[in-house]
Amino acid sequence: MTAVRTPAVARKPRIGLVAGGLGAYWPQFPELLPQLQRSAARVTERMREFDAEVIDVGFVSDAEEGAAAAEKLRAADCDLIVGFLTTYMTATMLVPIARRSGAPVLLINLQPTESMDHASFDTGAWLAYCGACPLPEMANAFERVGVPFRSVSGYVEDERAWQRIGRWIRAAGVRSVLNHGRHGLMGHLYPGMYDVSTDLTMVTGNTGGHVEVLEFDDLRVRVEKVGDDQVAAKLAETRETFELADSVVEDDLVWAARVSAGLDQLVADFDLDSLAYYHRGLDGEVHERLGAGMILGSSLLTARGIPACGEYELRTSLAMLIADRLGAGGSFTELQALNFRDGVVEMGHDGPGHLAISERKPLLRGLGVYHGKRGWGVSVEFDVRHGPVTLIGLGQTRDGRYKLIASEGQVVGGPLLKIGNTTSRVDFGVDPGEWTDAWSASGVGHHWALATGCLLPELRAVAELTNLELVEVTG
C-alpha cells in the first residue's frame, strides 16, 4: 500500500503581490522611490509570515508596467491578488491587474508610520503617506469595470490592519480548497432525508470542486488488504489519542482500526479532501460492518484535516472543510435537545467528531446498537472546547444556489449524556427555543459544522470571495 498523502487542504493559498506608485514623482523627489521600495519590501516580508505562497511581481510605476504585472499574475493562477498602494497611482495601473487575473483583488494602503511629522515633512516625505489618495479613484474605476472593491488601510506595522489582511488571506485559502477540492461521496442517501440529497453538479457549480462518487466496495477491497502491522499501528494511535471506556469490545476495536487503515488508503488513492458516507447494510454482512466501523477512522481523518461525516451529508462535509481551513476545527453536529433551565442548546452527533477541538481527551465508547442505524461497535464521545464557537452550515435554495449559514455562541460546561455522542452545551445569549426557531428557518438543513472561535468576520470574507450568500442567525 502507498503512503498516506498530505491532504490538498494543506495546499497554501497563492497570493499575488504587486506594489506601485506614480512614476512621475521619481525624478521630482529622488528619495521617495527608495523609501517606498523599503515599505514594499517590508510588506512582502510580512505577507510571507502567513501560511501562504506569495508571488511578488515587484514595483510598478506606470500603466505599461501594470499591464506586464497583470500578465505575470494571470499566469500564476493566484487565489488572491494584493495591490499595495504606496503613494498616489492612477487607476490605469491597477485595473488591468484586477480585470485580467481572474482572481479577487485586495488593495492595501499602509503608510510608513501612524502619522506624519508635520513640522519637518516636505512634499516628497508627504507623498510616502499618500496611499489613501487613490483609494476612492480605484473604488470608482473598479465599480465601472465590474470588479468588486475591497481594501485595508493602516500603517506598515499596524497589527489591526494585518489582522484584517490575514482574514482575507485565510478566506482565499478557503476559496482555493473549495475550487481545487476533491470530495468523496460513498454509499447512498440515508432513506427519507430530503434535505441531505444534493445535485452533485451544483457542488461544482457553487464551489468549483469535484465530487468523486465511491462505492462501499471501494473501501471493502482496501480493508481486505490491510496487514496486521497496519492494524497494530492504528491500535497504538487509537490508544494514544483516546481514553477507552470499559464498554469497548476488543474485537470491535480491532475491526474499527482495520477499517481506519483502509479509509486512509481510500483517501490516498482517490486524492480526497473530504468524505461523506452512509450505508444501511443487512443482517451483519460486510457492508453493514464497514458502515458501522467508520467512526474511529472518520474521526482520525477529520482531526488530520480531511473532514469525514456520516449520513451522506456532502454539504456538511464541505462546511466542515471551510471551518477546518479557517483553523477552527469543525465537528459534525445536529440538534439534540433544548435545556430551558440552563438556557443552552445541546447539540452534537453520534459518530465521528473533530478530535482536535475536544475539551478533554476524547472517549471511545462501545455501543451495542447505533440509534437509527444498523450495526454496532465503537463510537466517539467528547465535548467541544469551552468558549466561543461558530456554527457553519451550507444550505441550498430552491434554485440550487448554496448559502453559508452561521451563528456564534459559547460552549459552556454542565451535565452531558454518556451515550457515545459528541455533545456540547451552547449558549446563544437568547431563549433556546427562539434561537432554534430562527436557526431552523434559515434553511440550514439537518446537520452543520461546530467550530471554535468567533468566525463571522472570516465568514463574511469567505462569502465575498466565493460569491456565496451569508445568513447570520442571532436568535
pLDDT in tens, 233-277: 999 999 999 999 999 999 999 999 999 999 999 999 999 999 999
Helix ranges restricted to H, 119-196: 123-127, 135-145, 159-180
| Strand pairing category for 105-111 and 329-339 | unpaired
Q: Which option is the CATH number for 181-472: 1.10.3470, 3.50.50, 2.60.40, 3.20.14?
A: 3.20.14
| Inter-CA distances, 346 with 45, 326, 357, 412, Å | 45, 24, 17, 10
Q: What is the pLDDT of residue 6?
A: 43
Q: Fill in the amino acid letter for 198.
A: T
Question: Which sequence spans correspond to the domains of the chain?
Answer: 8-178, 181-472
Q: 372 pLDDT exceeds 70?
A: no
Q: What is the pLDDT of residue 192?
A: 87
> Could you give the CA distance from residue 151 to residue 60 in angstroms, rounded to a whole number?
19
361 burial level (CB within 10 Å; 0-12, 13-18, 19+): exposed
Buried b (16+ CB within 10 A) or exposed e, 49-70: ebebebbbbebbbbbebbbebb
Contact between 331 and 324 under an 8 Å Cβ cutoff? The reply is: no
Same fold, 8-178 and 181-472: no
Q: What is the mean pLDDT of residues 335-361?
A: 94
> Could you give the CA distance from residue 47 to residue 70 in angstroms, rounded to a whole number?
19
Tell me 174's DSSP state.
H
Considering only CA atoms, give the Rg of the chain.
25
> Could you give the CA distance from residue 109 to residue 137 in angstroms, rounded to a whole number?
13
Q: What is the mean pLDDT of residues 370-396?
A: 89
Residue 192's CB is within 10 A of a number of other CB atoms, namely 7
pLDDT digits (tens, 9 = 90+) for 103-112: 999 999 999 9
Q: Looking at domain 8-178, does it have CATH number 3.20.20.80? A: no
Q: Fill in the amino acid letter for 43.
A: V
Span between the terminal Cα atoms of the chain, in Å? 50
Write out the three cell numbers for 166: 490575514
> Could you give the CA distance from residue 433 to residue 177 in angstroms, rounded to a whole number?
36
Q: Fill in the amino acid letter for 354.
A: H
